[in-house]
Amino acid sequence: MPQNVMSSLLCRAPQAICALLLSVTLADHALAQDATPAQSAIPDSSASAAISTAPRTSSSLDGTVGGRVATIPSSPLLPSDGAGAPASAPRAGSDAASGQSAEFAARQAKLDRRSAENQYRYDVAQHNCYSHFFVNHCLGTARDTMRAEKSEIRVDQLALDEEQRAVHAQQRDENTAVRLAQDTAAAPQHAANEKANQATYEEKQRQHQLDAASRGATAPAKEAANQAEYDKKQADFQAKLDQAHNNAAQDAAQRAHNVGKFDDKQRAAAEHQETVKQRQAKAATAAAASQAAAANAASAAAAAKPASAASAAGK
């Protein structure tokens, strides 16, 4: 088979099994190469018979390749037997329930593996059909075989689901019966608790009524005391208010007296300032008159000196 044909056929398969298909295809190609010399040695007269009787090297649906059984290699995508089972099944209340859960998990894992292997065989057969002459017939046969196996797996899956539902229903009924028994066993204790709670409630109600009656008996005296205290507070407040009004009136009279005194001081200061100005003006006038008289006397004395000097010279 040419390499390009192999590549095209591999591209038809899902990507998850391309590696596996490549290994199967390479083995098919190697077997075809090994069978080619034996076929070429057959005479031409019996070529058609040899071709019709020679085993085909392509893989059939039953997993054979070139007349030998093709083993399906393990793949990380295919779960192994028991791989899907949990490591430790949770206890469902008893060891029997735990054992049933583990059994169901193992059977489910086996069904999952059968489904994966069926799909894998179908993909391999579908790939190998493209090397047959009747491709459509081969594909139809592969599809029918895959569907038949899938139908059987589906029947087993439905049976498993039905068993699981029955077991779950039984466990649910058992749990319901256990809870009912527990409730029945705890009924006397619940009744005793209910009776104690009722007694406590009634006691609290009686205490509440006593407190209300006590408050009602002491209410008038308390109201009278509260009213007296309120009246006293109001009287004290009124006295303080009147005292504040009196103080305000006194403060206003004092402020008016202070304003009058301040005005008198201002007038006295103004009169004193006027008197000082008049005295200063008189003193300035007197000083000017004295300076003028002194100047006149000096000028007269200066004029008298030349005359006396002249008379003295004449003598």
Predicted local distance difference test score (pLDDT) of residue 35: 39
Q: How far apart are CA 213 and CA 206, in angstroms?
A: 11
User: Vertex 9, ends 6 and 15: CA angle to 5°?
Assistant: 110
Domain ranges of the chain: 3-43+53-189
91 and 98 Cβ atoms separated by less than 8 Å: yes
Confidence at residue 178, expressed as pLDDT on a 0 to 100 scale: 93
CA angle 157, 163, 167 (to 5 degrees): 145
| pLDDT recorded at residue 241 | 92
Residue-wise DSSP of 173-208: HHHHHHHHHHHHHHHHHHHHHHHHHHHHHHHHHHHH
pLDDT by residue, tens only, the chain of 315 residues: 444 434 444 444 444 344 445 444 454 544 444 434 333 333 333 333 333 333 333 333 344 333 333 344 444 344 444 444 443 434 545 677 788 889 999 999 999 999 999 999 999 999 999 998 899 999 999 999 999 999 999 999 999 999 999 999 999 999 999 999 999 999 999 999 999 999 999 999 999 988 888 888 877 888 888 889 999 999 999 999 999 999 999 999 999 999 999 999 999 999 999 999 999 999 999 888 888 888 888 888 887 777 666 666 665
DSSP-H helix ranges across 14-134: 18-40, 47-53, 95-128
Per the listing, tokens 């090297």 go with: 57
Alpha carbon of 312 to those of 299, 300, 301, 307: distances in Å?
21, 19, 17, 9
Please count the other Cβ atoms lying within 10 Å of the Cβ belonging to residue 118. Answer: 18
